[in-house]
Amino acid sequence: MARPTHTAFDKQKIVAENRRAKFDYYIEDVFEAGIMLTGTEVKSLRFGEGSIAESYAEVRKGEVWLVNSNVPEFSHGNRFNHEPKRPRKLLLHEREIAKFHGAVERKGMTLVPLSIYFNSRGRAKVELALAKGKNAADKRHTIKERDWKREQGRIMRDNA
């Protein structure tokens, strides 16, 4: 019997969020991945610093890497500080990596990080989505739907 999937991950403290991703992409599947960090990176993330706005993930030699994410240097890190924009390895099962590799190669999909957070055990995690890019017309349609929902809320609030 298949193990049931949970819809929401256990997010205790969200550090960085990619809010633009849901506007630019159709989100197909969402996965949770661990992330390999150095000590000063963890301290910097615990202070709420970090950005994944322009980052993406890629499969290289059977491993998944988070590219172009920015974790600024820790203020008290001295010579042990890390490089802010270095590629970071994501920790996933082999089956998940194979699924990502197949989707990216055959279907032309993209691996987009949605958020970086700490779970209840204090581990840094990345919410990773398998997504397909939207074109300009799709984005206009999304804007139109969002504005209509906002207008609906105003109308309902005024009539109640």
- pLDDT tens column, 19-29: 888 888 888 88
Is pLDDT of 6 > 60? no
* pLDDT cut 90: percent of the chain above it: 19
For position 3, what pLDDT does the model report?
57
The CATH code that applies to domain 13-134 is: 2.40.280.10
pLDDT digits (tens, 9 = 90+) for 56-96: 898 988 899 999 988 888 877 777 788 788 899 999 999 98
> Residue ranges of the domains in the chain?
13-134
Question: Within 13 A of 160's CA, how many CA atoms are on the CB side?
Answer: 6
